[in-house]
Amino acid sequence: MSITASGPTSSAQPATLSISSGLLWMLGMVAVGLGMLYFIGVDQGAWSVFGNDVHIHEFVHDARHFLGFPCH
């Protein structure tokens, strides 16, 4: 009785992007990152882009402390 282990039959190929597609992804990720930085690090309610009625600060309060942003 012979037991043989066979390896994977296909090898992984790297994803290839065109330059324009790569730039769009990069700009999108920069926009998402800056948005997260604003909502977690800058938005204080009184200075909020959305006015005083929407308090995003309260939703991200613990993340602010975890990342070292002072908030009160």
pLDDT along the chain (72 residues), means of 10: 64 87 96 86 64 66 79 68
pLDDT for res 54: 59
Alpha carbon distances (Å) from 47 to 9, 41, 54, 60? 57, 12, 11, 15
Which domain does 60 fall in, by range? 35-72
H or E element at residue 28 = helix 19-37
* pTM score of the predicted model: 0.57
Q: Which two tokens stand for residue 12?
A: 């992984």
For residues 9 and 63, give the distance between their C-alpha atoms in angstroms, rounded to a whole number: 44
Specify if 22 maps to a domain: no
Specify if 43 maps to a domain: yes
How many domains does the chain fold into? 1
Largest CA distance in the chain: 76
